Structure 1
Amino acid sequence: MEKYIKSYGTLVIVFVVGVFMGWLFFGGESTSEEMSSTHHEHTEGTFYTCSMHPQIHQKDPGNCPLCGMKLIPESGDTSVDVNHITLSKSATALANIQTTSVLKSSPKKVLQMQGKIAVDERRTYAQASHIAGRIEKSYVNYIGEKIKKGQKLATLYSPQLVTAQREYFEAKKVKDSNPQLLRSAIEKLRLWKLSEKQIREIDKSGKVKTVFDIRADISGVITQLNVLEGDHVMQGKILYEVADLSRLWVKFDAYESDLAWVKVGDQISFTVTSYPGETFTTKVSFIDPFINPKTRVASVRGNVVNREHKLKPEMFVNGKIQAELPVNNEVIVVPKSSVMWTGPRSVVYVKVPNVDTPTFEMKEVVLGAELTNSYIIKKGLKDGDRVVTQGTYTVDAAAQLKGKPSMISQKIGVETEPTSTYEVSAQFAASFKKVYQNYLLVKDAFVASDDKRAEEFTITLQKSLNTISMHMLQGDAHMFWMKTSPNLKMNLNEMVKADNIDTRRRFFVQVSKELSDMIQRFGLSKNEKVYLMYCPMANDDMGASWLSNTKEVLNPYYGDMMLKCGEIKKEI
């Protein structure tokens, strides 16, 4: 008996705390309303909610499906405008809803680019033999050896040079009677690339030299060794290839979507793993006018002085540009956390000014370029609007529960842009369906928190994606595939390379986004169900979506920790 009394007492305490929290969260209902809730006296038009989970909203009293607490009557929304959603001050504080005033500014973006160090092609040199002969002695024996201008590289025996010297001495004997013959003999020696100093030495010695020195034309590092001692060489043969490494190129890969942000003269800071904590700088000197058809990137090049020779060709580098979009006027920029992304036309919530109770209005905006942590707004906001920057999805959830215009229910004063679906071949449709089915296997593995199976199914998903050829699509469908598939493949590759399930889940966020966009464009067969799910807490509270073939919410980002956290956004 005492056990039942204790249990009943616990329930009473929980109920009283719930009633108090409901009063605090929704602005305070009267005692009579609380009592009527206790006795389940339901009046027409009254809705019930949970004091701990305000997203719960139902017509009949009962218990919260999430925590089991008794539901309490919800205060009515007194806003006159049907587009407005009003929350009590205490609810706004509990949900930590924050707003920021938007201002016009110059759009800036931090571009991250990968690349590598390369030899400056303008500072390479081919040391050639200007006359046929035999290498008697080589003083350069390995690739990478440093040489200086004028350094002896090899000695060469050349019968042609021996003959030319003899002709010189014979011409010298008759120089008084035939000076032109002497001039011709000297010019012949010059044509064999003998220096004036060497010609004077020959003249002074009065003897025919049998071997001649080959000296370095420039300073640098030997990059190619083409001869050995005893080799016979022909006139014009390249003996050594030399590169000057005191100045190098840094080549970065820039994606098509980032090229608008890069211009000649921009400063790039970059790092190499060999020198952690040290930052190098360069300026953009050249942007490749062609896109690589395989990687879909353009090369962005800079010059760097390498006085201490810390940098080596083929070193990988990570670069960063503080880029500005070349626009004539300042534009409105909002944080990414404010935008509920639904495509080029997305949704933000704006705080209604000059009202006592926190009131918000959903506005559709046209997105411009994506910045590092924000978007450019082309249309839909004006300078000075206060947008919700934290708690956006909480406001949207409240709007949905009250039947107000929301992200998935844009009813009043909102023009929606229909998503166009491309026509695709039967071959592509069959292959793409297999991609979606393999995606579901990966998703289910994450739901079960099975990292091994997640990795295996990701590899399977990769293989099915690689069976799709770009030649299966035509026109706009082909261009859309070429634009989106590289990112999908890149994120899948990162999932495979990851060494733990948390890292795989982070890349799964982007995989789900890319595949969702593709399905909305390419479609699936009518008997294939696709539901877009959303969890506001995933992805470090930035929110993340995933795809499912059932209406049951099973969260792949948290697994057993919060298996049911999320909601159905729409059926695709």
Structure 2
Amino acid sequence: MTMPTNESAMSASLARRWRLWIITGLLTAGAITVFVLGRRHSTTSTAVSSTPSSGHDMGGMQTGAAPSSDGNAIQITASQIRQFGITFGTVERRTLESTVRTVGTVTVDEARRSQVVLKIGGYVERLYVDQTGQRVRRAQPMLDVYSPELVAAEQELLVAGNFARSVRGSSVPGAPGASIDLVAAARRRLELWDISGAQIEDILRTGKARRSLTLHAPASGVVLQKNVVQGQAIQPGQMLYDIADLSEVWVDVALREADVGAVRVGSTASVQFAGYPGAPLAGRVAYVYPTLDSASRSMRARIEVPNRSGRLMPGMYATVALTTPSRTALTVPSSAVLRTGDRALVFVDKGGGRLEPQAVQLGRETGDFTEVVDGLTTGQRVVTSAQFLLDSESNLGEVMRGMIGQRGTSDIPNAQDMQSMPGMTAPAPGESGMNDRGARVKGPSVRDTTMKGMPMSPNRR
């Protein structure tokens, strides 16, 4: 009977030992965790406390430079000039020989354009030129037109001619002269309808009215439009053919408002076409339109380009380079100009490492140089590099601080300041000391055991 009692006691003792080992393992793991986190917290605190408060490098930029007493001027050192790679240029008077580049479209020379128009009504009996784009020569037959009104006028001419011949030897006073006037009036009527003198003489010679009238090309060229077909009825004043001489064409270009004063009549142009690469054609500015497009803020100019080969066609796109007259002007390197919204700035070297921003008024830009209309004088030194440090959207103070590295640790808010910022929550600084904490462990009682807890910030107490 004592055997079960001993076995029960041994089982209870073994269970207590197992619980003791489990509790000891948990406590050991907790102690290791506390040690590791404590080291990490200590390292972080050391890094924060070792951050310089002033007079040290931050982000590779020295903060020793300070604003000058002259308003927005700034003071930099020689080491900062080398560190940021700042270079300088000189304001000088230079000869500007600029080239204005733009695009254009080939159009027809309006002075080389003509139309075939019938001044009386009629019907198309025959077409000699029946295709758009067909080339024609001057005086080449275009079409035959039947017009009852024209036939009646020809009959009047024949009657007047016969009457004049019959009264040529008449003794009636004024009869011969009146007959001559009738012939002249009938002849004049046909001439006003563009009937040639040769056709009128042929009617008088044969004594027969022609049924149809042949219209001829007024000039050599290419048929751009054909508005007539066989058998069509024609109204007086209707345009039948549109003919253009393309031996010389126009190239209409759009000029920026800033380039209007540079381009003049007579300026030479180099015109390049995508269809004929590597073969630019020489042209000349023949006209500058007197109006400005208010929507695009551009003005048009007309360039005359020879086209004896006939390769250029209306509607083709062209790339144009216009050579403007050379002149001497006060210039500054273009890399020195900072465009900040509605104005332009240049940093002027005042000597002794002092840089002062100067507002300038700019003119034309030619290659690597920009004309200065107002704000600078000859011989001044200006900053020409390290412009990436300046933000065109920032105000002037931020621009200068970013350029010379004036943002130091004094500009960084501390934790106490961040606590008072709206919407900002910063961790409280770490604390050391003894804190009373309570813990409850389930299971058999354990003696001679020490528990350690993780440090907690005041906000989590």
- Following TM superposition, by how much is the alpha carbon of 1:382 offset from its aligned partner in structure 2, in angstroms? 2.4
- The separation in 1 between residues aligned to 2:54 and 2:240, in whole angstroms, is 94
Q: 1:95 to 1:324 in 2, by over 3 A?
A: farther
2:102 is equivalent to residue 113 of structure 1: yes
2:379 is equivalent to residue 390 of structure 1: no
Quote the residue 1:361 is aligned against. Answer: 355
C-alpha distance after superposition, 1:263-316 (max 9, x if no partner): 333323221111111222333333333333433322222222221122111111
- Following TM superposition, by how much is the alpha carbon of 1:377 offset from its aligned partner in structure 2, in angstroms? 2.5
Counterpart among 126, 133, 136 of residue 137 in structure 1: 126
Q: 1:361 to 1:231 in 2, by over 3 A?
A: same
Question: Which has the larger share of helix?
Answer: 1
- The separation in 2 between residues aligned to 1:188 and 1:340, in whole angstroms, is 75
- The separation in 2 between residues aligned to 1:192 and 1:116, in whole angstroms, is 37
2:170 is equivalent to residue 161 of structure 1: no
- The separation in 2 between residues aligned to 1:302 and 1:105, in whole angstroms, is 29
2:343 is equivalent to residue 344 of structure 1: yes
Quote the residue 2:161 is aligned against. Answer: 172
Secondary structure in structure 1 of the residue aligned to 2:191? helix
Counterpart among 368, 371, 378 of residue 376 in structure 1: 371
Q: What amino acid sits opposite 2:61 in the alignment?
A: I
- The separation in 2 between residues aligned to 1:83 and 1:143, in whole angstroms, is 73
Q: 1:271 to 1:132 in 2, by over 3 A?
A: same
Q: 1:134 to 1:315 in 2, by over 3 A?
A: same
Quote the residue 1:104 is aligned against. Answer: 93
- The separation in 2 between residues aligned to 1:387 and 1:291, in whole angstroms, is 36
Q: Kindly report which structure 2 residues correspond to 1:399-548, keeping only aligned pairs within 5 A, or say none.
A: 407-408=399-400
Higher relative contact order (CA 8 A, sep 6+): 2
Q: What amino acid sits opposite 1:381 in the alignment?
A: L
* TM-score, scaled to structure 1: 0.51
Quote the residue 1:47 is aligned against. Answer: 56
Q: 1:208 to 1:42 in 2, by over 3 A?
A: closer
- The separation in 2 between residues aligned to 1:338 and 1:111, in whole angstroms, is 22
- The number of residues matched between the two structures is 334
CA contact (8 A) 2:267 2:324 kept: yes
- The separation in 2 between residues aligned to 1:274 and 1:378, in whole angstroms, is 41
CA contact (8 A) 1:246 1:306 kept: yes
Secondary structure in structure 2 of the residue aligned to 1:190? helix
- The separation in 2 between residues aligned to 1:293 and 1:109, in whole angstroms, is 26
Secondary structure in structure 2 of the residue aligned to 1:311? coil
Secondary structure in structure 2 of the residue aligned to 1:135? strand
Secondary structure in structure 2 of the residue aligned to 1:278? strand
CA contact (8 A) 2:224 2:242 kept: yes
CA contact (8 A) 1:106 1:324 kept: no
Counterpart among 133, 136, 141 of residue 152 in structure 1: 141
Gaps of 5+ in 1: 1-40, 59-73, 398-403, 411-526, 528-572
Q: 1:207 to 1:379 in 2, by over 3 A?
A: closer
CA contact (8 A) 2:337 2:344 kept: no
C-alpha distance after superposition, 1:122-167 (max 9, x if no partner): 3222211133221110112122111111000001122233233333
Q: 1:86 to 1:229 in 2, by over 3 A?
A: same
CA contact (8 A) 1:124 1:242 kept: yes
Quote the residue 2:319 is aligned against. Answer: 318
C-alpha distance after superposition, 1:209-252 (max 9, x if no partner): 22221111111221221211111223322211222222222111
Q: Comparing 285-294 with 209-218, which one deviates more in the overlay?
A: 285-294
Q: 1:196 to 1:98 in 2, by over 3 A?
A: same
Q: What amino acid sits opposite 2:384 in the alignment?
A: T
- Following TM superposition, by how much is the alpha carbon of 1:208 offset from its aligned partner in structure 2, in angstroms? 2.9
Quote the residue 1:248 is aligned against. Answer: 249
CA contact (8 A) 1:260 1:325 kept: no
- Following TM superposition, by how much is the alpha carbon of 1:96 offset from its aligned partner in structure 2, in angstroms? 5.2
Q: 1:360 to 1:238 in 2, by over 3 A?
A: same
- Following TM superposition, by how much is the alpha carbon of 1:380 offset from its aligned partner in structure 2, in angstroms? 4.0
Quote the residue 1:34 is aligned against. Answer: none
Identity of aligned residues (%): 27
- The separation in 2 between residues aligned to 1:143 and 1:236, in whole angstroms, is 20
Question: Which has the larger share of strand?
Answer: 2
- The separation in 1 between residues aligned to 2:51 and 2:115, in whole angstroms, is 93
Q: What amino acid sits opposite 1:348 in the alignment?
A: F
Q: 1:383 to 1:152 in 2, by over 3 A?
A: same
Q: 1:231 to 1:405 in 2, by over 3 A?
A: closer
C-alpha distance after superposition, 1:299-343 (max 9, x if no partner): 2222222211221111112222233598xxx43211221123334
- Following TM superposition, by how much is the alpha carbon of 1:121 offset from its aligned partner in structure 2, in angstroms? 2.4
- The separation in 2 between residues aligned to 1:43 and 1:187, in whole angstroms, is 107
- Following TM superposition, by how much is the alpha carbon of 1:45 offset from its aligned partner in structure 2, in angstroms? 7.4
* TM-score, scaled to structure 2: 0.62
C-alpha distance after superposition, 1:397-423 (max 9, x if no partner): 9xxxxxx9884359xxxxxxxxxxxxx
